[in-house]
Chains A and B, each alone.
With several copies, the nearest count.
Chain A
């Protein structure tokens, strides 16, 4: 490793961002071609040694970055905040997709009674639902279904294991049933 390579390594490290070849040539008082040559040697050596850091050329710039082979451990180490758990609205949307799949956004919004665009894209990002074709009606809306990640998350082996929805949970809770309907079921409770 020569002096020029050392200097380039230090500069690219401290910068973090891509650095112009011309800028390094000025600072190190040499020809841009020499910079290219030295940076290339460094880059090749790092790749050959399969180091944790690499140097990549981006046009007339160079940048140091961590090796993509190490992306997993890097992400795991640096993630300070655990990603948030599913909010209740995400969980609702996911539930509707799980039971009614394949389902369009319009249909699930109809069931939930609220706009669900954000929930759908958020669930897509988390790999809990995925697109599965389009419904053959005007507008050809996208159909969604749950993913294998969904099954894993909920400890299910297949969709057949989805807990059965009891009739009660489908109906309006008793306290919200209008009076006339509620008393009908009770013998002798004539109005």
Chain B
């Protein structure tokens, strides 16, 4: 449904309070009127009628739908305008007339929309039974696979540890890994160190405790030396005492029992 368009000069209120030209169909003019974008006094109805006739002339035929719509709307315009011209007191009444007009326009649209819907409804009604015999089924129960499928940062483990520590308010037993390089393994065997010490003591008799550590290259060798001295003491193979000077000395007594030494490794 093609609607005729109208051109009116300097009727639409712009922001700058200048009046701009209007181009568009009649119902837009009515809308603009209702929103006070156009003053009824600025509208020349004769101009609209002229343009409408020109439109008819161009189309060379009468569209009854458009014609009746035009007559309804144009007559309303004339009615409203004549009321406006009569007295300012009639303005309110004129405005409610406008609203009524707008409403009837909306209703016309709805009616048309519903008529159009009937086309679709007829089409659907004919197909109403096509799919009624197609039965879908319930989903098959899922075979659950709960295998974990996310990636975590290894540091999440540390955070979790901190959480436990914070909550328990007591020291957690350190895990085995914390002892690695201290006592977990014995990179420098105590037995080997004990043998070295014995060899050195046998040749010299007495030695300063401090000297036993001379030449030790690693923390584990230092530990081994200390443990070896303690172990040899326990086996009564050496004797440790503090001299007047405050210096500890180690004295060789006898060779220890071999089997007991082996338990060390």
Contact = CB atoms under 8 A, between A and B. Distances in A.
The answer to whether A and B touch directly, with their CB atoms under 8 angstroms apart, is: yes
Interface of A: 13-17, 54, 56, 63-71, 74-75, 78-79, 82-83, 85-86, 88, 91-92, 94-96, 98-100, 110-113, 125-128, 149, 152-156, 161-173, 176
Interface size class of B (residues with CB under 8 A): 35 or more
Given A65-B140, A78-B142, A95-B121, A154 B131 contact: yes
Given A88-B160, A110-B110, A173 B165 contact: yes
A154 B164 contact: no
Given A92-B163, A165-B158, A172 B137 contact: no
Contact of A164 (B106, B112, B160, B177): B177
Given A16-B136, A65-B140, A66-B135, A154 B128 contact: yes
21 contacts: A15-B137, A17-B136, A66-B133, A75-B135, A82-B133, A92-B160, A92-B161, A92-B163, A100-B175, A110-B110, A112-B164, A113-B167, A126-B147, A149-B148, A153-B132, A153-B150, A156-B127, A168-B109, A169-B158, A170-B110, A172-B169
Contacts of A155: 127, 130-131, 151-154
A96 B1 CA distance: 21
Which 4 residue pairs spanning A and B have beta carbons closest together? Answer: A71-B133, A68-B133, A155-B130, A168-B113
A110 B116 CA distance: 14
B146 interface: yes
A165 B178 contact: yes
Name which of B135, B155, B157 has the most chain A CB atoms within 10 A of its CB. B135
Nearest to A149: B148
B163 A88 contact: yes
Contacts of A128: 148
Given A88-B160, A149-B148, A154-B156, A96 B132 contact: no
B129 interface: yes
Nearest to A18: B136
B114 interface: yes
Nearest to A70: B133
Contacts of B117: 92, 95-96, 99, 111, 165
Contacts of B161: 92, 95, 99, 165, 169-170
Contacts of B177: 99, 162, 164-165
Contacts of B86: none
A171 B106 contact: yes
A167 B113 contact: yes
Contacts of B215: none
Contact of B168 (A70, A78, A111): A111
Contact of A96 (B137, B147, B164, B171): B164
Nearest to B137: A16
Nearest to B170: A172
A91 B134 contact: no
Nearest to B31: A171
B173 interface: yes
Contact of B154 (A68, A74, A156): A156
Contacts of A94: 124, 157, 160
Contacts of A126: 146-148
Contacts of A69: 133
A65 to B, nearest CB: 4
A75 B141 CA distance: 10
B134 A170 contact: no
A165 B154 contact: no
B131 A152 contact: yes
Given A126-B146, A170-B174, A171-B106, A154 B140 contact: no
Given A15-B137, A154-B152, A165-B116, A95 B157 contact: yes
Given A82-B133, A99-B117, 6 more contacts: A15-B139, A153-B128, A153-B151, A165-B117, A167-B113, A170-B171
B154 A162 contact: yes
B140 A66 contact: yes
